[in-house]
Structure 1
Amino acid sequence: MSRKCSKCHSLERVYRAFKSDTIWAATINEMALLDSPNISTFDVKQVLNYLIEQQKIRKAKRVVRPEEGIGKTLVSSKCSICHNLDRIFGASKDKEEWTSTVGRMIATMNDPDFLSEQEKAAIVTFLSSRLKKD
């Protein structure tokens, strides 16, 4: 894995990410297409299983809930397409407001596959958990 994945990015980036199994599979398959034919189907399966297992170990060691890690990763990868993270993290919204905002942004993207319902929920949960209580 280190030989193939680190050709394009640091392994720290990979190990800090928290993703659902489905999103890991999509990410790894996309990377395999970018580096075809150097990453085989066998390699994809090996890397996927390894990353899922490593993530389980990291989740068990973390005090923060894993869902928050997934939400943070999604915000960094999806929301930052259009917005800088300072703007996103600077917003003070509750769960209802974030649900509305994320829904509007999905509609703006005009791509029904941009976020799954699970991903949308993870983003809303993560962002609304950051609301400062007075």
Structure 2
Amino acid sequence: MESQTKRLAPLILLVDDTPDFVDAWQLLLELYGFRVVTAIDGASGLAQAQKYLPDLILTDYMMPGMDGLTMCRKMKADTRFQTVPIIMWTGAVGCITDKVLDRLLCKPVRLEFLIAEIAELLPGHDIPTA
């Protein structure tokens, strides 16, 4: 009898300072089969990343304390996260550009669009599309 190893779903670290937003997006991402860990600011996001080593990071830009961009720069300075894709979303007006970001999305974000972006950034995973 052949043994089959079930591949774990991608783990997403979701960082945002709006609890209702985090709860809603966590539920939606889990409905798509992702595993999700959350954090409420950049400092706790950095700690969660170090603890769980996510496959992808989805973060807000503007948060109290350590903002999302500072958190991402600190993560990318760590060799464990140099190849981890980062999607940042923001409601801020203006353009944020930084080499640590793989994608920058403006809020509000459509679920189908986000899932397509994740699928593109995690090509080795079987990600259902809407």
Superposition TM-score tier, normalisation by shorter sequence: under 0.3
Task: Decide which structure has the larger Cα Rg and report it.
Answer: 1
TM-score normalised per structure 2:
0.27
Structure with bigger RCO (C-alpha 8 Å, 6+ apart): 1
TM-score normalised per structure 1:
0.26
